[in-house]
Amino acid sequence: MPQALPVLAFVAVLAAAVTSSPSLLPSDPVHIEYDKRSFIINGERKFLFLGSVHYPRTAPEQWPFIFKQVKQHGIDVVEAYIFWDLHEKEPGVYDFEHPFDVARFMMEAHRAGLYVFLRVGPYVCAEWNYGGLPVWLRHIDNMVFRTMNEPWLEASLTFSERVVDHLRDFGLFSYQGGPIIMAQIENEYGNIMSNYGQAGIEYMQYVANYTQKLEPNVPWLMCVQPTAPDVVINTCNGFYCDDFVSSHWQSYPNHPAGWTENWNGWFNQWGAAIAYRPVEDDAHAVLRFIAAGGSFMNYYMVYGGTTFGRKTGGPFIITSYDYDVAIDEYGNKHEPKYSHLTSMHAAVHQVEDILLSTFPSVTSTPTLGGGEVQNYTYSSDVGCVCFIVNNNEKGEGEEKVEIGGGALSIPAWSTTVLADCSRPIFNSATTSTPSTSLTYSTIARLDKDPVFTFVEPVGASKGPLPDPRPSVESPSPLEQIDTTNDTSDYLWYCNSLNLASGTHTIKVTNVANMGYVYVDGQYMAELKYSGSEGGANSASFTTSVSSTQPGVDSGDVELCILSITVGILNYGSFMEKYSVGFLGEVEVDGQSAALKGDWQHIVGLIGEKVNGDGDSHQEADISPVSTLSRWRSFAPPTSSPSSSNVEGRLRWTVNIVTLTIDDISSNEGEDTLAFNASGLSKGFVLINGHHIGRVWPAKIAEGDCTPCSYAGNYDASKCLRGCDEPTQLYYRIPNAWVRAGPNMVVIFDEEGADITSTSIAKVKRV
C-alpha cells in the first residue's frame, strides 16, 4: 500500500498564506504519497526529474528566467538548499529579505510550473564557504558540529525550525497549495558518521525522527544514509546510481529509489584544468538508473551560476560555479547538453505510465555479433517499454540486436529506450545538436586614469587618522577565522625582531591558506598554497640589518605576515576544529626567533572599510565627488617609512566605466556581461558595490587535456580542458548590477598589477 502522509486542515492555512504573501499564486493542495515504485502526486504516479538551482548564485532579477529555462528543459522539481550563513549572520537574528528571499525564490519556481525539493541543511556542503555554517558557531562553548552535541542540536534545529516556519507562513508546502513536495535534513552524513562513533549513529537517528516534528506532511529524505530510520527515504549521490537500486530495496522495501545528486558536471579549483562531463555518459547513467527501477533523479546542478563575494568553499574553489551543466553560468542553453537531455526527459515521460506500473525483468540478450546487452523490460496491462543497455566501452563495442525482425544498432556505452519494446525513441549516445561555446567581445576598457588609487599599508596604518580596522594583541599568533570572524580573507600578524647587524635568513612556517611576508614594509616572500586542503606553507628569505645608532651592533625590524584565506573548508568531520592563519613560528638563522613583544593582529584591509563587505548587494554611490571623499576619509596617505608599502603591492584602483543601453541589453534574460581580468594577479573586484568574487587570472591551469571518450566510467579527472591557460579569466557580472551610464569598478590586486589590460566584455553563446 502507498504510504499516505497526513493532510492537515489546509483551508485556513492557505487563506492566511495568500493574505501574507499576495504574490503567491493560489493553487489547490497537492497530496503526496509514495511506495516502493514511485511518488504518487494527487493519485498519479510520476517519474520526477529534478534540478539543483541555488538562489544566491544568481541575482533575484534573473530567477524567473532561469526557472523558465529549467521548465523548458523538462525538469519537474527544483532542488533548493538553504544557506544558514546567509540567514542567521548573528545568533538569533534572522534575515530572509532581498537578495536572499528564499520564499520569493520558491514562488518564482511555482509560477514557472515547478515543484520544489527543500534541502534545509543545516549543513549543505555545496562548495560553499564552511558548508553554509555560520562562523559564530565556533564561539559557542563545548560546540561539536554534526553529532549528538547539545549546543549543536540547539543551534541547528532552532534554525531548521525557523526556516520551516518561515516557508509555512508563506503557504509554500504542497498541502497548502505551495510547491514544496519533499524535503531533506542533513547532507551526506553517512560518509562521515563513523568518525563520531556511537554519538554519530544517535545523531543520525535523532535528526531523522525530528523531521516529523519539523513538518510531518511532506516526505523527508536523507542522502547517503543507508542505515536511516524508516521515517526518511535514503537516497544515492554520485556519477552513477544504478547499482544502488536493488540494495536500497533490500533495506527499504517500501521506499522508492532516488538519486539526489547526479553529478552531471563538476566544480573546479584554482590551478587545475576545467572538468567537463560528456552528455552521452550523463544520459547513459540516467537511463541505467531508470532501467534498474529508479523513480526520481536530481541533476546537481541543472544551473550552477556564480559564487559571488567570498562564499566559495574548498578552499581554493574558483568563482565560477558553471559546473558544465545544461544551463550555463550566464543562463544560456549549453548545447548539446540542454537539447539532448531535454529529449531524454520527454522520452521517459512518454512511457512513464508503463514504466511506473510495474518492476523490470532483466535478461542478458545475445547480439548479432556474439556479444550481449542487458534488456530491462517493463511489461504490464498498460503496455511495454524496454531499455537496452550496452556497457561495452570501446568504439567497436557497438552491438546489434534483433528487434521485430530487424537489426537495431546499440552504440558502445549507451542505452536505447524502446516504446512498445520495439520502437526506438531515444539513444543516450546519439546527439544531433551542434556544440556551443561562450564568446567574449570587449565593450569597455579600463585603460584610462583611475578616479582614485590607494596602496594598503603594511600592517597597521601610521597615517594621520586612526586605523579603522579591528586589532588585537596576543603573546602568540591567533587562529585566523576566530579572529576575523570571517569578515575578510586577510589578517596581518606583526611583531618586531632585534637582529644583529648583517645578513640573516628568516623562515616563516605553517601559514594557511597562503600569504606574503614583509620586513619593514618591503615584500620578501610569498607563502604559496600547498594543495586543495590549504595546508601548511613555509617560506625562507634573507634580509640585511644595519645599526641605526652609533655603538649599537643591532637593529629592530618589523616583521609582518599577511595571511590569506581562499574559502573555508566545506566538507569533512569535526569542522569546528578547522584552523587557518599563521600557525607556526619564525626562525632566524635556523633558531627560533626572539620576538620583542606581543603579536599584533590587524583584521582585513582599509579598502574593505571603504567598500563595506561587498555582500550587501546595495548599490554604491558612484559619484566621483562622493567616491573620492569616501576613499580619502578612510585611506589617507601613510606617513611612516617603516609601515609604507615600498613596492606598491596591495593596490586598490577605483574606476568609472560608462556603459550604454545596448551594452547591457539581454535577448531573453540571460546575463551578458563579464569582467576580463587580464593582467591582474590575485584579488577581487566590485561593480557598483557588488562583490563579483575572487579573481586569480595569474593561476594557470595544470592537467592532462588530451581529448577523452565519453565511453567508460567517468570521474572528475577524466575529461579536462583549458590546460596552460588561466583557470578563470572572465568573471560574470549580473546585468541587474549595472546601469546605462557611469558604473564604478573597484579592483584590489595583491601584487599591485597594472589594470590597463582589464575590460568589460559582452558575452554570447554561439
Give the list of residues 6+ apart from residue 446 with CB closer than 8 angstroms, or none.
655, 657, 745, 747, 755, 756, 758, 759, 760
Q: For 473-508, how does the pLDDT look when each residue is reduced to its tens digit (9 = 90+)?
A: 999 999 999 999 999 999 999 999 999 989 999 999
Residue 684: the pLDDT is: 98
- Lowest average pLDDT, out of 115-119, 452-456, 608-612, 643-647, goes to 643-647
CB contact burial 545-568 (16+ within 10 A = b; e otherwise): beeeeeeeeebebbbbbbbbbbbb
Per-residue pLDDT, averaged over 18-26, amounts to 46
Please pick, among 186, 261, 280, 398, the residue that the annotation labels catalytic.
261
619 labelled catalytic: no
Per-residue model confidence (pLDDT) at position 22:
37
Mean pLDDT of 15-30: 55
Lookup result for grid cell 535478461: 363
* pLDDT exceeds cutoff 70 at 717: yes
For the segment 524-542, the average pLDDT, to the nearest whole number, is 75
Q: Calculate mean pLDDT across residues 579-594.
A: 94
Residues written for the chain: 766
pLDDT band of 515, cuts 50, 70, 90: very high
Least confident of 106-110, 158-162, 390-394, 762-766: 390-394
What beta strand segments (E) does 82-166 contain? 115-119
pLDDT of 228 reads 96
What's the rounded mean pLDDT across residues 57-65?
98
* Model pLDDT, residue 732: 99
Q: Taking 60 as the threshold, does the pLDDT of residue 16 lie above it? A: no
Contact indicator for 497, 595 with CB cutoff of 8 Å: yes
CB atoms within 10 A of CB 613: 13
Q: Which of 88, 108, 188, 750 is catalytic?
A: 188
- What is the greatest pairwise CA distance in the chain? 106
Rounded to whole angstroms, the Cα distance separating 522 from 499 reads 17
Mean pLDDT of the chain: 92
- The whole-angstrom separation of Cα 207 and Cα 171 is 24
Q: Is the pLDDT of residue 15 over 50?
A: no
Task: Judge whether 725 counts as a catalytic residue.
Answer: no
Query: What is the average per-residue pLDDT within 91-104?
Result: 97
Task: Compute the average pLDDT of residues 582-611.
Answer: 93
Q: How confident is the model at residue 539 (pLDDT cuts 50, 70, 90)?
A: confident
Task: Return the pLDDT at 474.
Answer: 98
The conformation of residue 636, written as its DSSP 8-state character, comes to P
- Yes or no: say if 745 and 687 are a contact pair by the CB < 8 Å rule: yes
3 state DSSP class of 114: coil
Please return the burial class of 359, using the count of CB atoms within 10 Å of its CB with bins 0-12, 13-18 and 19+: middle
- What confidence score (pLDDT) does residue 544 get? 84
**Domains of the chain, each with CATH number or no CATH:** 3-303 (3.20.20.80), 361-427 (no CATH), 438-450+612-765 (2.60.120), 470-604 (2.60.120.260)
Average pLDDT over residues 193-212: 98
Q: Residue 258: CB partners within 8 Å, gap ≥ 6? A: 221, 233, 235, 236, 294, 295, 296, 297, 298
Check residue 8 and give its pLDDT.
33
For the residues of 568-619, what is the DSSP string, one character each? ---SSS-GGG---EE-S-EEETTEE--BSSPEEEEES-HHHHHHTTS-S-PP
Quote the pLDDT of residue 57: 98
What pLDDT is recorded for position 25? 62
539-545 and 471-474 strand pairing: unpaired
pLDDT for position 447: 86
pLDDT exceeds 50 at position 637: no
Segment holding 439, helix H or strand E: strand 438-445
**Percentage with pLDDT > 70 across the chain:** 91
Predicted confidence band at 10 (pLDDT cuts at 50, 70, 90)?
very low
pLDDT of the residue at 538: 84
Report whether pLDDT(233) > 60. yes
Q: How many CB atoms lie within 10 A of CB 472?
A: 12
Q: What pLDDT was estimated at residue 619? A: 63
Which of 59-68, 388-397, 663-672 is the least confident region? 388-397
Dihedral sign (CA 150, 153, 159, 161): negative
Q: Inform me whether the pLDDT recorded for 638 exceeds 90.
A: no
Q: What is the pLDDT of residues 299-314, one digit of tens each?
A: 999 999 999 999 999 9
